[in-house]
Chain A
Amino acid sequence: MKKILNIEYQKHTLQNGLEVVLYKDNSLPIVSVNIWYKVGSANEIEGKTGFAHLFEHMMFQGSKNVPKERHFRYIEEAGGNLNGSTSIDKTNYYETVPSNSLELALWLESDRMGFLLDALTQEKLDNQKDVVMNERRQHYDNQPYGLAWELIFSNLFPRNHPYHWPTIGWMKDIEKFELDDVKKFFRTYYSPNNASLVVGGDIEYDAALELVKKYFEEISSGNSIPKIQVPQTGLEENKKIIHHDNVQLSKIYLAWETTKLYGKDDATLDVLADILTGSKNGRLFKSLVFEKQIAQDIASFQYSGNLTGMFIITATAKPGVKLDEIKTEILKELRQIEEKGITASELERSKNAITSSFIYSLQNLNSLVDQINNYNTNLGEPNSFIFDLERMTNLNIGEVNNMIEKHLNKPFIELQIVPKEAEDETE
């Protein structure tokens, strides 16, 4: 079964530093072009947050040879789909097109890597500032529990830490984006030597490489990338935050700082999360949702970046249930694992589910190619599916049990999101 996770690929590095990975799968006449720029909100500074995410917008506003509004149009006309995303450490851009339009996708991606600033105007910036502010309203400010994420990050990490602010940025910073700052940010981070390109799907290796060289080779490399300054982290004591929101049900979030992406315990914490809340038999789900029925839902996960990571447990209280009761039960279940451990069958069940999920994840070319780029960018080896899976399937019970003492006995953030006021409404 694992054999199909062992993918073949070619890797090249162009003169300008751009890493290029080619992956061939001719089963459908589609091809996916995927670029990771190694720039995320962690590369921003206090007072100027949200730039990396803003670029995810500006990159679709046209470049020297691509008029405004044409980027989307070209891809849509070709029958493709496209998007981008921004995280704390990276920004990615991708399009999946019929394979005879590969050259179109490379033309578009290279034009905005090499020649974006030639077409960047104040008018475009002002328009996209409005769009981003509305994105922030829609997904955070006007969304029930929408501010949870930034409340956790900004309390877990000190003000001068690169993970202190949300990827979309603070509203007050978005409002005052300046064209010059935006241009400077682009020149600093959006160069071929700070990017990784994967072309995957219905291709032939030589022809694809030739096309990539044709469009990307002449883009000159940029200066070396400024190093991120990372201050000391670590809470000295538990910290409790109570936030009032437009909601009727209370929700609790517990967050511990843990370990970074692909760090030693990163995968072990993934497995722990699955054992706690991955299914109806998950320890926390079974206790709080199924048996005691004090929570409506419960989730846990390890969220990790290049600098550090966090383990989060979050639950919604049933009407009338106090969050303190939920918290007590969660901590009780963690103690239980610390003292008595998980069982062999729990670990086996998790491993089976995780192994299958790796196979299922190969179905979609766009997400497969994105994963290849993740492995290339973060591990330097595109073919890391088996390595990644075995980080989890090679674990033993003791290693998982150990996570509680090692990471979850430390001081943590407790965020409570509670109703603003009793709403005077009846059906």
Chain B
Amino acid sequence: MKLNRSAAPEAKGKLEFHLPEIKQFQLNNGLKVLFVEKDNLPIIQMSLIVNAGSRFDPSGKSGLAYLTSMLIDEGAGKYSALELDNEIESLGSIFGVSTDSDLIYMNMLSIKDKFEQSLELLTTIYASPLFTDADFEREKKKLLTMIIRNYDEPSYIASTNFRNLVYNATPYDHPIIGTLKEVETITNNDVKHFYRNTFSPSNSHLIVVGSITIPVLEKKLNNYFTSASFELENINNISTPIENNSNIYFIHKKGATQSEIRVGHLSNKRTDPDYFAKAILNSILGGQFSSRLNLNLREDKGFTYGVSSGYYYNKNYSYFQIATSVESKNTGEALEEIKKEINGIKQSISLEEINFAKSYLIKRFPAMFETYTQTANNLTSLVHYSLDKNYFNNYIQNIENCTKDEIEEAARKKIKTDKMIYVVVGDEEKVLSQLRIISDSNIIELDKFGKVKTSKSY
């Protein structure tokens, strides 16, 4: 007998999901700890985060936070750079450093049996980096080369310039890894000074997710995290952004076969009450495969391999961004379609779309706590954005509570066409004339580092 396949099977039964309990405590030296016990595997993930991201780069020294993070594990305590790496790898642990505009992250993943030794190494890296001149010179050279390399990447050029433009006149308006000119001027003393002015336990948080109980963990952490907190100079230099008016910025990339496109504007804080309405809105517009933008530009027109939109948050602001890469000859048309979708979503959103987006955001919730790393990242976001400690307990309810009115209002008021920044990186021979046809505003030509080119007449 043939199976009747015509209808999609319904979900069966209710799911049992218990949100992990988040415990918070403070060590004797002032370091705050967030902890989740998780023991389906014998592993422990630690993330030590410091308020020392690129927004704290002093003026004229962009890249300083990033370079400091590159040097942090190049030798510490009694270990040289190579010895330290050898210790970590011999334990079978994995250590990594990363930096964004707000934070420096030091992550250590270890097998339970090697936790204590891994912890000792992590605290050594945090409290006793060597910062030798030889290591400094090598890593600085590496960073300078990395900057050169990144500017070969059309997607990096587009994203970095877009970000710098929307964050105009704030400490977020420069590349996280810095610029060639400014990194050149950084000295090892700058690094040491930056470190001494940020890496205080009172300015850091530790996230732990793993197979260990809280009394044991607390005792071990207090044994190894012994460095004292200290006063920081006032380096919190947040200023109000000066929003650019809507413009098309064009960056020439000779021989490019596609155009990298970024469209968007500055947006508000992560803790503002419209966060959930914007999350639903974004999911409908470009936050998933079955979104308006992707179904149009990819599945209908075939202009691109993919297009997405998102709200990208840091501690003080966020930006809204649509990103895609399209074949050069379709650049103008793709921009027209993006504009059409932006205007469309401001006109109307159906209840069906809203329910679909809510279902997507709510039902994937358990999977957000699958791996040790994912769970640690969730705890990190609580700290990063100063979220309420019941944030995850209330997450599903907050999504469910969003009304159609609130979501439509977010679309009407929070997507700002008059402030929309367009960044296009492509080959001028193939692309510029298309931009001129669609644009009623100025086209501003930049070099790949964001400097306005002296105007040409057309």
Query: Using a CB–CB distance below 8 Å, which chain A residues touch chain B?
Result: 1, 4, 27-30, 64-66, 68-69, 72-74, 76-81, 96, 98-101, 103-104, 107, 110-111, 115, 126-131, 133-135, 137-139, 141-144, 214-215, 218, 246-249, 278-281, 286, 290, 293, 296, 316, 318-319, 345, 348-349, 352-353, 355-357, 359-360, 362-365, 420, 423, 425, 427
Is B327's CB within 8 Å of the partner chain A?
Answer: yes
Which A-chain residue is minimally distant from B38 (CB atoms)? A27
> Considering the chains assembled together, what is the distance between the CA atoms of A79 and B13 in angstroms?
15
Partner of A293, one of B42, B141, B255: B141
CB distance from A346 to the nearest CB of B (A): 10
Is B179's CB within 8 Å of the partner chain A?
Answer: yes
Q: List 30 A-B contacts (CB under 8 A).
A: A27-B40, A76-B356, A77-B359, A77-B360, A79-B365, A98-B364, A99-B15, A104-B8, A104-B9, A107-B9, A111-B5, A130-B303, A134-B302, A134-B305, A139-B305, A144-B152, A246-B253, A248-B149, A249-B145, A278-B89, A279-B89, A281-B89, A348-B90, A349-B86, A352-B89, A362-B41, A364-B370, A364-B371, A423-B254, A427-B181
Give every chain B residue within 8 A of A107 (Cβ-Cβ).
Answer: 5, 8-9
Is B111's CB within 8 Å of the partner chain A?
Answer: yes
> Considering the chains assembled together, what is the distance between the CA atoms of A248 and B157 in angstroms?
14
Give every chain B residue within 8 A of A104 (Cβ-Cβ).
Answer: 8-9, 11
Partner of B447, one of A27, A281, A425: A425
Which A-chain residue is minimally distant from B135 (CB atoms)? A290
Q: Mark interface residues in B1-39 (1 if CB within 8 Å of A CB, else 0).
A: 011011011011111110000000000000000000000
Partner of B92, one of A72, A115, A352: A352
A98 touches B363 (CB 8 A): yes
> Considering the chains assembled together, what is the distance between the CA atoms of A71 and B424 in angstroms?
32
Q: Which parts of B138-175 form the interface with A (CB within 8 Å)? A: 138, 141-142, 145-146, 148-149, 151-154
Known contacts A98-B15, A281-B89: A134-B258 contact under CB 8 Å: yes
Known contacts A69-B290, A134-B304, A359-B42: A280-B81 contact under CB 8 Å: yes
Most chain-B Cβ atoms within 10 A of its Cβ — which of A72, A103, A246, A427? Answer: A427
Which A-chain residue is minimally distant from B326 (CB atoms)? A134
Q: Which parts of B100-116 form the interface with A (CB within 8 Å)? A: 109-111, 113
Which B-chain residue is minimally distant from A211 (CB atoms)? B9
Which B-chain residue is minimally distant from A355 (CB atoms)? B92
A-B contacts besides A352-B89, A353-B89, 8 pairs, CB < 8 Å: A1-B111, A101-B11, A130-B303, A249-B149, A290-B138, A319-B145, A357-B92, A420-B255
Which A-chain residue is minimally distant from B373 (CB atoms)? A363
Give every chain A residue within 8 A of B288 (Cβ-Cβ).
Answer: 72, 76
Most chain-A Cβ atoms within 10 A of its Cβ — which of B13, B359, B370? Answer: B370
Is B351's CB within 8 Å of the partner chain A?
Answer: no
Is B216's CB within 8 Å of the partner chain A?
Answer: no
Most chain-B Cβ atoms within 10 A of its Cβ — which of A76, A135, A420? Answer: A76
Which B-chain residue is minimally distant from A356 (CB atoms)? B92
CB distance from B205 to the nearest CB of A (A): 23
Give every chain B residue within 8 A of A111 (Cβ-Cβ).
Answer: 5
With an 8 Å Cβ cutoff, the count of chain B residues facing the other chain is: 84
Most chain-B Cβ atoms within 10 A of its Cβ — which of A69, A134, A218, A352? Answer: A134
Known contacts A99-B15, A286-B82: A77-B356 contact under CB 8 Å: yes
Q: Which parts of B429-458 form the interface with A (CB within 8 Å)? A: 447-449, 451
B2 touches A134 (CB 8 A): no
Q: Which parts of B45-91 form the interface with A (CB within 8 Å)? A: 81-82, 85-86, 89-91
Known contacts A214-B3, A296-B149: A353-B92 contact under CB 8 Å: yes
Most chain-B Cβ atoms within 10 A of its Cβ — which of A144, A215, A290, A356? Answer: A356
Is B289's CB within 8 Å of the partner chain A?
Answer: yes
Please choose the segment from B239-247, B293-301, B313-321 that sits at the chain A interface, where 4 or more of its residues have CB less than 8 A away: B293-301
B149 touches A316 (CB 8 A): yes
B141 touches A360 (CB 8 A): no
Known contacts A131-B304, A142-B154, A296-B149: A246-B15 contact under CB 8 Å: no
A76 touches B366 (CB 8 A): no
Which B-chain residue is minimally distant from A419 (CB atoms)? B152
Give every chain B residue within 8 A of A110 (Cβ-Cβ).
Answer: 5
Partner of B17, one of A29, A134, A143, A420: A29
Which 4 A-B residue pairings sit nearest by Cβ, starting from the closest? A79-B363, A130-B302, A356-B92, A103-B9
Give every chain B residue within 8 A of A215 (Cβ-Cβ).
Answer: 3
> Considering the chains assembled together, what is the distance between the CA atoms of A81 and B288 in angstroms?
10
Partner of B302, one of A29, A64, A127: A127
CB distance from A172 to the nearest CB of B (A): 15
B41 touches A359 (CB 8 A): yes
Partner of B109, one of A4, A72, A127, A360: A360
B257 touches A142 (CB 8 A): yes
Give every chain A residue within 8 A of B97 (Cβ-Cβ).
Answer: none
Partner of B82, one of A65, A115, A128, A280: A280
